[in-house]
Chain A
């Protein structure tokens, strides 16, 4: 009792002492100083101390885990551990298939393994391959210039034949100027990045071929696909895109279509496209590889076919490896379009120019087309005959337009997987070749191709095919399809 009393008293004494000290500190003389007419209380001392502590803490760096760069030994270990994939995936058996080897020119008739076959696998639409005028001009060009041109266009690779060819093409089509490329595939994938830059909007048909897809990917623009050859889908896409980008005055907008699609044989309705383009203010890029020399009254292509003046289409490209029986490609349009490409198109500036004999072959081919318009009518009749002959074929149907020089047969009922479809079509083509000596081309897809259109068998009709050739073709296809595709109908 006394102890607890003592303890409490002592405790109280201590507390009293402490509070006395604190009060003393509060009431210390300087605490009662009057500074600038404002009385300062002793609490300022404590606040001042707090401020100092806060400043001290703030000035400390926040805790970061120490950066420890990898030591050389660790890098060595990581490098040893790392195992790369093999350069190519393992070879599967379908990769070992070899293409049939021709032993003569790829004209309407050709020789495979010593047997004469009817050739429907070359895009020799007007039968100009092997024409004597072309051969003559090629031979004189070879004797004069040799084979190669040994330089890019900017460094003495421009031969007068190239300039003549460009002028001839421009005159034939009615445009101010044109530009020659040395390879068909590189035409589109060099022309597109020269015009479409990052941030531009490009509206593309989903069935375009790989060259265009690659060009668009390299251009880094915004790409919007519309349904294959569907004008309603194009209209709604244009509407949507214009709504979304109302304020973009500096944006360039393009529509990219092919005239005759390589992947399906359909023909693009150019008059519709031009109407839409003018309404929504887009520029049109048209790839006329398969329609140059084929469509139109005199072979000038899709614009003549639809009676659209050619200056309404901003940029027209084409590969010359089809109707013109030559190689290379060209691009044509207004002067501004063509001049711009001479310096900023990578496939033109950084690559050697077209061999001169191919350019002179192209000039002669255009001359022949202008003088012989009956080749075009013959081609159209041939296509009609073939299509009527192929009606009722079992398991396959014609997906291409009646005017297209490519007759495209797709499976009525797909097996579900691309691989099996390709295998089936390959079997049909092989049997047709082996048993009936007709050479057709089943479509092939690269792993890089993004196109999703159905695969099929393609027949490239030529004006040089005779009635009997066509008859052999459709009869043999009918019989082989009937035997392989039984039960598929």
Chain B
């Protein structure tokens, strides 16, 4: 629940209104100027009509330098950000050869496997020499190597499910698995803040989609009861099956899913549970096994578990874990398995080595150290930020912490000031978040040391004072509900 102070909400609406008005004014004059010079598009409709890219042209391009910053070193705790300059007021940005060494608070590097690792990288290079960079073939033809089979066994073991299937990209995993599991006549109930890949997969399946309020099991129950009693739209026939899709950690909120309640509701109403652990696998839980371990949910109760290897394992790709029959069926029908190139062998080796390190099978206790480090780091950072008076979202133990900014002008101000002081942060605005709720998102990693975090806190505190985002009084543990606050969900 985010509560926006009235004054902030008012000023945010006013700022957006002003930007919109100016944008329309510029568009008006642009239409005049373009009328003089005819384009060479006779007979063809333009690729983007009028208002479709208004947001991009008039709002996003002004602050384009805050996004897409290139780096020239691995995304470790400290990295080199390439400086860019623009000669035409941010419309195009050109790379320069200058770089600046900044503290990385934006990459998804939860366990610190991002750069060359002492255990993983030699093994990856060995594997590259043996299997080469790619298999150039799909899994069902010539793309299944012994490495892929081993990887699937190890992943299934790690996640505590009978079998697993690995694909080369996390996004495609969701988009290609949901249409296979459910078709027209089925029902998908998804959390209102689910990721774009889930939305795409759900749309591609042809099933009816309904949304329940973010992380509210009581609303889920209400929606389920209504929909089961009603049946399919218009024909009122009973549904063929119902799948409820939730995520482990929501990347824009930093919250954990309320899995035990949701699983019990789904069991009661005989719906299937699909859990997307993109951010939570490897990062939370005592041995890094994700949200099921942390919240004490038996993995046999979750029907389909999906995750990606990009965040905590420093590699690429996605997996699906479930019962043996499910995986066999998916191997037979899933397009990501039949038509897409298999995962690159060095990436697969990186995942294997990373899992071995996490489980301690490499003979050292680096894995346990990393897991303890990230938990300590996240809790320390979050509590310090809250003490300073920032509005920080998310639950304890989650390594993702969004800091609320609200006003559109504060987004580039925060980002650029932090970069000047050598701290690289990620700011997110519309359309990834609702219009009023722009935020800066911090991802803590196990590679951050105590000094790094202290430096980050000082810089963020300075910039926060400059920009004016300390919405709560400093040194208070619980935000007090004062009068005249508007509740925004």
Residues in chain A within 8 A of chain B (CB atoms)? 70, 74-75, 78-79, 82-89, 91, 94-97, 99-107, 110, 119, 121-124, 129-130, 134-135, 138-139, 142-151, 153-160, 162-163, 182-186, 189, 195, 197, 209-211, 214, 217-218, 249-253, 281, 283, 319, 321-322, 325-327, 336-337, 340, 342-344, 346-347, 349-352, 354-355, 357-358, 361, 439, 441, 444-449, 458, 460
Contacts and interface: CB of A to CB of B under 8 A. Distances in A.
A160 B84 CA distance: 12
A79 B53 contact: no
Interface stretch (B19-27, B154-162, B193-201): B193-201
Nearest to B427: A155
Nearest to B326: A88
Given A121-B141, A448-B180, 7 more contacts: A84-B239, A94-B332, A101-B149, A150-B310, A185-B172, A326-B133, A344-B56
B141 A149 contact: no
A110 B136 CA distance: 13
Given A156-B424, A358-B344, A102 B146 contact: yes
Contacts of B100: none
29 contacts: A75-B226, A78-B228, A79-B224, A79-B225, A85-B241, A88-B326, A91-B329, A95-B328, A103-B146, A106-B131, A122-B137, A142-B346, A143-B121, A145-B115, A149-B75, A149-B316, A150-B75, A155-B426, A158-B68, A160-B82, A182-B169, A182-B316, A250-B49, A281-B44, A325-B132, A344-B56, A355-B347, A441-B141, A446-B339
B260 interface: no
B43 A135 contact: no
Contacts of B113: 146, 148
Contacts, number: 338
Interface in B284-325: 303-304, 308-311, 313-316, 325
A358 B133 contact: yes
Pick from B69, B72, B142, B228 the residue with the most CB of A within 10 Å: B142
A252 B52 CA distance: 14
Contacts of B313: 148
Contacts of B341: 183-185, 319, 321, 327
B135 interface: yes
Interface of B: 43-45, 47-49, 52-53, 56, 60, 67-76, 79, 81-82, 95, 104, 106-109, 113-117, 120-121, 124-125, 128-137, 139-146, 149, 168-172, 175-176, 179-181, 195-197, 200, 203-204, 224-226, 228-229, 238-242, 269-272, 303-304, 308-311, 313-316, 325-326, 328-329, 331-336, 338-341, 344, 346-347, 350, 424, 426
A101 B229 contact: no
Contacts of B116: 142-146
Given A105-B130, A106-B142, A142-B128, A82 B228 contact: yes
B106 A156 contact: yes
Contact of A183 (B133, B135, B136, B340): B340
Nearest to B75: A150
Contact of A145 (B47, B56, B74, B132): B74
A384 B131 CA distance: 29
A122 B74 contact: no
Contacts of A361: 133-134
Nearest to A144: B74
Contacts of B73: 144-145
A410 B120 CA distance: 45
Contact of A82 (B44, B52, B106, B270): B270
A146 B226 CA distance: 50
A263 B133 CA distance: 25
Given A149-B75, A325-B132, A75 B229 contact: yes
B426 A252 contact: no
Given A138-B133, A250-B49, A441-B142, A185 B350 contact: no
Given A78-B228, A151-B107, A343-B60, A446 B335 contact: yes
Pick from A130, A142, A217, A357 the residue with the most CB of B within 10 Å: A142
Contact of A449 (B60, B225, B332, B335): B335
A102 B344 contact: no
A87 B303 contact: yes
Contacts of A211: 335, 339
B169 A183 contact: yes
Contact of B43 (A281, A326, A349): A281
Nearest to A364: B133
Contacts of A326: 133-134
Please list the 7 inter-chain residue pairs (A to B) with the smallest Cβ-Cβ separation, ordered nearest first: A121-B142, A321-B341, A183-B169, A441-B141, A185-B340, A351-B171, A95-B332
A123 B426 contact: no
A42 B326 CA distance: 88
A355 B114 CA distance: 11
A79 B125 contact: no
Given A148-B314, A150-B107, A79 B47 contact: no
A250 B43 CA distance: 10
Given A88-B181, A110-B142, A346-B200, A104 B347 contact: no
A124 B131 CA distance: 13
B72 to A, nearest CB: 5
A253 B45 CA distance: 8
Contacts of A102: 135, 142, 144-146
Contacts of B68: 153-154, 158, 342
B142 A439 contact: yes
Contact of A87 (B74, B109, B272): B272
Contacts of B133: 129, 134-135, 138, 325-327, 357-358, 361
Contacts of A144: 73-74, 116
A248 to B, nearest CB: 8
B63 to A, nearest CB: 12
B132 A107 contact: yes
A358 B134 contact: yes
Given A88-B326, A156-B106, A448-B179, A218 B130 contact: no
Contacts of A134: 132-133
